[in-house]
Amino acid sequence: MSVSTALPEWPPALTPEQHSRLILLSSTYALSHGFTLLPPSSRQPPTSAIPAPLSLLPTPFPRELYELAVSLQPIYNALYARITLDWDFLDRVMGGSVSKVDEFQGELWRGWKSIRDDLVQPLQLGLFRSDYLLHQDQSQGTSEKGDNIGIKQVEFNTIAASFGALSQRAGEMHRYLAKATNGYYSISPHLSEISNFPQNEPLKKLAAGLAEGWKAYGNEKAVVLFVVQDGERNVFDQKWLEYELLESHDIPVIRHTFSELSSLAQIEPSTKNLLLPSPLEPSLPSKEVAVIYYRSAYTPTDYPTSSEWDTRLLLEKSKAIKCPSMALQLAGAKKIQQVLCEPGVLEDFLLNKKRPDVGLENKITQEDVDRLRLTWIGLWPMDNSALGKEAYQLALNESERFVLKPQREGGGNNIYRENIPPYLKELEKEKREQGEPEKKEAFILMELIEPPKNVQNWLVKGGENKARKADVVSELGVYGVSLFGGSEIQTFNSTAGTLLRTKGRESDEGGVAIGISSIDSPLLVD
């Protein structure tokens, strides 16, 4: 699906005085509303914060495509829930060549396989985010209103889908600026209509999803455990979820790193309850954990030793509901995204009535499947199949059209355009054990999405008092919540708001904490 919406020339002109005033209003709003990050060299406990990287104005986004992305989220929730419950499929895809040449994914799959017959908690909780870029389809020419623009999915995140709280704050900030300055000083009719600023509450909805898991667990005295990274700079995004759980749902949160949990976490032998003693109050009974929410565990650096893997397996074997489980984390791999593009695979997961109901009461139609497929760009395996051989030739001879992606989360891992051929040649030089697949099979090849050009905005890097005008690319994330896998409770499936991250076009990679991307909000245009 594409639309002929012409994106307006952006940003509208500001006088120097208006510009300076917006810088002041946005930075003070950010600091006073917790739209913040810790500075790079923060002390513990922290004594200062900086505004999160932000955009001075919201960025135009076609209303019809925004609404399409939001409407697809329950279908995506159902899809990835069903993938997670299909162990044979996960074994075939992730237990094949990927597990043999990707050490991290292999450790994750083998660990899950070693304990899955002993799992005691059927319920699983997903806080998801499906990420999209606008795509300008040059092959269809242009319409009278403007260029043909669609949306294409970048990836689907099943673990540590962050920035929900800060995204809500960004939208609230832009609405405040519009109201406080008479529609941004009336510089554009788009900014004068408050209905063009969509209501967006991912903080509330993601916290409500965690609360659904806590309620399903069934112990009002239990807590939610956040598993976090050492030295986390994005702590306020997590803290807002903690505060929302406590203030709106009366659910306490405990935060621990893997290294702390290695000495604290205990499983009660008869009940399999996960128990955490308090290092500060050792005389009190241990706290029982209802939900384990991972804001860590998605990158190899989160497992520097075997102790972290042992802790992950221990947590997985407990009665606590995992967000995500190891199986759900595996389902979010890039290889799964690529295999879903193969003929019939998506239809089997979404239209096969024998699949478990995961919140849509098996009401997904062929039209839904077709709409979802329209958001996909070309994806190929890098194996020795016919498609894989085609991909290899494309990667060597038409590399400017593609990105090579490993099975990683967190950004900064992809190989782009002219860097692909020499990278593949280097992989071929690496030694392989006898019978081991080629190293390139750890990757997938993805056609590059081509965002519309000539869209600009003013970006403010965290901690700075000036804005940079840049040609920008904006990535829309749509959050979803899914509680599934149990036979005695009603499955929960819901959208949970959106995130817009905007970066300068000159950068292929993103990253809010390192200042490449800014947390933005969409300005809906028709």
Catalytic residues: 129, 155, 157, 162, 334, 405, 409-410, 501
DSSP string for 219-260: -TT-EEEEE--TT-S-HHHHHHHHHHHHHHH---EEEE-HHH
The C-alpha atoms of residue 96 and residue 79 are separated, in whole angstroms, by 21
For 132, the enclosing helix (H) or strand (E) is strand 124-136
**In the Cβ-directed half-sphere of 286, how many Cα atoms lie within 13 Å?**
14
Of 497, 487, 486, the closest CA to residue 207 belongs to: 497
- Which three-class secondary structure state does DSSP give residue 491? coil
For the beta carbon of residue 239, count every other beta carbon within 10 angstroms.
Answer: 17
Q: Name residues whose C-beta falls within 8 Å of residue 386's C-beta, 6 or more positions apart in sequence.
A: none
Alpha carbon 510 to chain centroid, angstroms: 13
Take residue 134 and report the two structure tokens written for it. Answer: 């606008």
**In the Cβ-directed half-sphere of 226, how many Cα atoms lie within 13 Å?**
23
Dihedral, 345, 351, 354, 359 alpha carbons, nearest 10: 110
Of 492, 523, 434, the closest CA to residue 214 belongs to: 492
The C-alpha atoms of residue 265 and residue 371 are separated, in whole angstroms, by 45
The C-alpha atoms of residue 344 and residue 112 are separated, in whole angstroms, by 27
